[in-house]
Structure 1
Amino acid sequence: MTAQNLEELRHEIDALDTQLVQLLAKRQACVMQAARFKKDTQGVKDHARVEAVIQKVREKAITYEVNPDLVEHLYREMIGSFITMELAEFSEQKDT
């Protein structure tokens, strides 16, 4: 999109923000389901998986000409939050 003015550009950014939040909601739902398949908390905190995801998204960032350091930072924050949520879900499922 080539915006003709700042208002148009902000409207486009708002639409992208909506899409990003929708995708985060889908990712969160997958993460919460994943807790059911994990045998222990180490499976939830799987460091090797986290690093593999980080490597993959850094490569995608380069492909799409996005700052890979920014993408890595965002993903580490997101994954950290999801791990916390997944640990709570894992604990709740094991208690029932």
Structure 2
Amino acid sequence: MNKEKCESLEQAREKIDAIDTALIEMIATRQFYVDQAVRFKKSIQDVQSPERVEQIIQKVRAQAVELGIDPDLVEQLYRAMIQQFIQRELKEIRP
């Protein structure tokens, strides 16, 4: 993503708003693929998959460090998002 110095508060806010829109679109796309993945899961253990969660967390923490952002913030965001997706998936798995 192209970063450019802002010349005003309004310009900074416009950029932030555009990023927020893109983030929501990306989360919606991620949810779409989570919904696809649940079709291949047969059990609650398949959905919860703590080893997969930790694998994702380690990957995103490393990416955060590479980009110079707080890995704890990224981890918190991902854990919250993953937990919501797990709850969504469990509704599909449970009778």
Range into which the TM-score falls when normalised by the shorter chain: over 0.9
Deviations 1:29-52 (A, max 9, x none): 011111110011100000000000
- Out of 28, 45, 49, the position equivalent to 1:46 is 49
Normalised by the size of structure 1, how large is the TM-score?
A: 0.93
1:20 maps to 2:23 = yes
Contact 1:32 1:89 in 2 (8 A): no
2:11 equivalent in structure 1: 8
Structure 1 gap ranges (5+): none
Write out the 4+ residue segments of structure 1 that deviate beyond 4 Å after TM superposition: none
Normalised by the size of structure 2, how large is the TM-score?
A: 0.94
Identity of aligned pairs, percent? 49
Tell me how far 1:65 sits from its aligned partner: 0.7
Letter in 2 for 1:45: Q
1:29 equivalent in structure 2: 32
2:74 equivalent in structure 1: 71
Tell me how far 1:90 sits from its aligned partner: 2.4
1:88 maps to 2:63 = no
Structure 2 gap ranges (5+): none
Tell me how far 1:89 sits from its aligned partner: 2.0
1:57 equivalent in structure 2: 60
CA-atom RMSD in angstroms: 0.8
